[in-house]
Amino acid sequence: MTRIKFRFARHAPLKHISHLDMMRLFQRALRRSGLPLVYSEGYNPHLRFNLALPLPVNVTASEEFGEVYLSETVSPDQFVSTLRAQLPESLDLKSASSEDYKAPSLPSQVVAALYRATLGREENCRAGSSQFRAALDRLMAREEILVQKTKKKKKQAYVNVRPYIIEAYFKESGNESPLELYMLLQAGSSGGVSPFFVIEQLEKELNCDCNNKAFWELHRESLYTDKDQFLQPLSEGM
């Protein structure tokens, strides 16, 4: 049995679909591809396939990952060319590698993700870049940012997501280029925070009186795993 890990980008035309839609899209593409797929045993066999981390609706991405098990040996290059033929052009399959199939699953490896939010130019909030920067400083200085989460039996609970914002900064840019916010956020099974939530909190801190809703374009730059307490891009070794 082979385990293949693959790397792909999601471009704007496909950014409107949800994680479950992405899962179905890949599963159907894999089924059309004729690759020797592996299914789980049992009553409802399902394809042994994973995406590293759900990609939110309205977010594009340059370095996403998935993994799939195959019953026969297929070279990474052959895998890429076979699957590429079944994927829409906005889903850009870039490369693949063979993985040790006893290693932990791809989703369990993910610990953080880097997002870039670009402030659109039109019909937008009129706050200037210095106001945005000051608002971000205030947000990052907070010790607690609470999110209401509905747990089992409809119990409401609050989670402090401030520790999940590992880093957030505006990129130094000239007056001409749009404002870009980078956010390195904890993600994966040990908890995380949505980039949309961070932006929402930033806008609250900004408290601009212009009444124009800001339009942010969101992009996920990369995913990280934990390597001896340091973040290492998931693309390492590919």
Partner 1 sequence: MKVIDHKIERLLWQVQKPARYTGNEWNAWRKDHAGIKVKMVLAFPDLYEVGMSNQGLKILYESVNRRPEMLMERAFAPAADMEELMRAHNLPLFALESGKPLAEFDLVGFSLQYELSFTNVLNMLDLAGISLHASERGESEPLVVGGGPCAFNPEPLAPFFDFFLLGESEECLPELLADLDAFKQTAPDRKELLAKLSEKEGVYVPALYRPVYKEKKLKALERVDPGAPGVIKKRLVKDLDSAPYPAAPVIPYLQTIHDRAVVELFRGCGRGCRFCQAGYIFRPVRRRSREEIVKTAREQIALTGYEELSLASLSSTDYTRLDELIDELDRALAGEQVKCNLPSLRLDSYSIKLADRLHRGKRSNLTFAPEAATERLRRVIKKNISEEEIFTALGDAVDAGWQGFKLYFMIGLPTESDEDVAAIAELCHRLKQYFRRKAGRRISISVSVSTFVPKAHTPFQWEPQLPLPEVTRRQEILQQGFKKMPGVDLSWHDAETSFLEAVFARGDRRLAAVLEWAFKLGCRFDGWTEHFSMSRWRQAFREADIEPEDYAQRRFEYDDLLPWSHLDCGVDKEVFIKEHRKAFNLDADFEGEFR
Instruction: List C-alpha distances in Å: 51 to 115, 138, 143.
Output: 18, 35, 33
Residue 238 Cβ vs partner 1, minimum distance, rounded to whole Å: 26
In this structure, are residues 218 and 196 in contact, taking their beta carbons and an 8 Å threshold?
A: yes
Supply the minimum distance, in Å, between the C-beta of residue 115 and partner 1: 15
The 8-class DSSP code of residue 49 comes to E
Among 9, 27, 82, 233, binds partner 1 (CB under 8 A): 27
What tokens were used for 45? 């066999």
Min dist. Cβ of residue 46 to partner 1 (A): 9
* Nearest-angstrom CA–CA distance, 179 and 196: 16
Smaller CB distance to partner 1: residue 217 or 221? 217
How many CA within 13 A on the CB side of residue 219?
17
The window from 29-37, 71-79, 157-165, 198-206 that contacts partner 1 (CB under 8 A) reads 29-37
30: contact with partner 1 by CB under 8 A: yes
Comparing CB distances to partner 1, the nearer of 13 and 163 is 13
State which of residues 4, 29, 117, 136 lies at the interface with partner 1 (CB under 8 A): 29
158, 146 Cβ separation under 8 angstroms: yes
Spatial distance between the Cα atoms of 90 and 149, rounded to a whole number of angstroms: 34
CA distance 2 to 133: 48
Report the residue from 9, 54, 56, 58 that binds partner 1 according to the rule CB under 8 A: 58
b/e for 65-99, b at 16 or more Cβ within 10 A?
A: bbbbbbeeebebeebbebbbebbeeebbbeebeeb
In whole angstroms, give the CA distance from residue 136 to residue 181. 9
Asked if 67 contacts 106 with a C-beta cutoff of 8 angstroms, the reply is yes
Size of the site for partner 1 (CB under 8 A): 29
Under rule CB under 8 A, residue 31 binds partner 1: yes
By C-beta, is 22 or 111 nearer to partner 1?
22
State which of positions 207-226 bind partner 1 (CB under 8 A). Answer: 215
Nearest to partner 1 of 20, 141 (CB atom): 20
Q: Of 19, 51, 67, 88, which lies in the binding site for partner 1, with binding defined by CB under 8 A? A: 88
Residue (47 or 140) nearer to partner 1, CB: 47
Q: Which of 28, 142, 149, 171 binds partner 1 (CB under 8 A)?
A: 28
Residues in the chain: 238
Interacting residue ranges for partner 1, rule: CB under 8 A: 12-14, 16-18, 20-21, 24-25, 27-32, 39, 43-45, 57-58, 86, 88-90, 122-123, 215
